[in-house]
Structure 1
């Protein structure tokens, strides 16, 4: 009840797209575009409740696939942010670094468990490691969840528990390509 009231009161407040990591990082002159997709939802479509966060859904990370990696890619970094959160910065739902560029996909649930994950995890806004699915305030409206994939020409050097501000510095000057996938979710 209180969460719904708060969501309604903050309905017009949003962090904004300009604060997304993909917009905050300068575009490199040699940078290419990546194709990022999910079999769980269409680009710009609704993210099924299965992938929503704890207390709302099963908190399972959706399957993701990508193509068009530059041949010199040494590492992939995947970030999921919510630019519609009523905060000063987008809400970070996932930081996954050190993904092997020989992979071209992550299966359903691959980023939900810490054991056996194909990466190292940074901290989410919840200060958790791993995937934290959509879980916006009820009554706040539809939120966009932006998956951002970055191909790096040099290793990021990020370690488990890295924060978003460390990520920004670790990616500068290393980007070969980037791609995004946006999904929608509304908590009623």
Structure 2
């Protein structure tokens, strides 16, 4: 899937290039990675595989940990949008909406509850666990935005509300991609667990 500007194409693997991504709307060549702004995770490398413990394939699964560098001066708040870039729909499937993060270097610990969250694709205000058919690879794009003003959105806002509130106020942006493919082995592990005494 294409339709993205060159600066974003160069930063995303081909399978993650969905034209409806939040960063395609709110990011720009000027603000992408501005001042060295970068998002990473201690749980996976950029483009690497998401561990099943962050998906519906494991019990008690939680959101993965994330870390980011200091945004450029003038950033008062950070917002995070996580979307599944796999599929042909006009909008990618939304897995997490987070805002209210301080405009400074920071992190979210594994399973940590963020300050404010919006509704994911299922209408819940939490990390939407990837739940995939066996053998079908999906690309998850973690998009972090540094904003020049604090958002006044109420918790539980929808994706479109968050994107509209951020429009025109993004001073820096960055993205991190993780992929996940449910394997038959994962399903066999579940089956084995069912029969253990």
Coarse TM-score class (shorter-chain normalised): 0.7 to 0.9
User: Structure 1's 138 and 126: CA in aligned 2 closer, same or farther, altered over 3 A?
Assistant: farther
What is the CA-CA distance between 1:59 and the residue it aligns to?
Answer: 2.7
Q: Is the 8 A contact 1:100 1:118 kept in 2?
A: no
Query: 1:50-92: CA deviations, max 9, x gaps?
Result: 0113xx2233111110114112111110111001045332110
* 1:151 corresponds to: 146
Q: Unmatched 5+ residue regions in structure 1?
A: 1-13, 111-116
Q: Is the 8 A contact 1:52 1:135 kept in 2?
A: yes
Runs (4+) of structure 1 moved beyond 3 Å? Answer: 28-31, 85-88
Instruction: Decide which moves more: 147-156 or 100-109.
Output: 100-109
* 1:160 corresponds to: 155
Q: Mapping of 1:76-91 within 5 angstroms?
A: 76-85=78-87, 87-91=89-93
* 2:132 corresponds to: 136
Query: 1:131-168: CA deviations, max 9, x gaps?
Result: 112222334x2100010000001112221111111112
Query: 1:95-126: CA deviations, max 9, x gaps?
Result: 0011122451111111xxxxxx3321100001
Q: Is the 8 A contact 2:62 2:127 kept in 1?
A: yes
* 1:38 corresponds to: 41
Q: Is the 8 A contact 1:28 1:175 kept in 2?
A: no
TM-score when scaled to structure 1? 0.80
Instruction: Decide which moves more: 67-76 or 100-109.
Output: 100-109
Out of 113, 120, 127, the residue aligned to residue 124 of structure 1 is 120
Q: Unmatched 5+ residue regions in structure 2?
A: 1-14, 184-197
SS at match of 1:146: strand
* 2:25 corresponds to: 24
User: What's the RMSD between the two structures over aligned residues?
Assistant: 2.1
Question: What is the CA–CA distance in structure 2 between the aligned matches of 1:85 and 1:97, rounded to whole Å?
Answer: 26
SS at match of 1:70: coil
Count of equivalent residues? 166
User: Structure 1's 30 and 65: CA in aligned 2 closer, same or farther, altered over 3 A?
Assistant: closer
Q: Which has the higher contact order (CA 8 A, sep 6+)?
A: 1
What is the CA-CA distance between 1:169 and the residue it aligns to?
Answer: 0.8
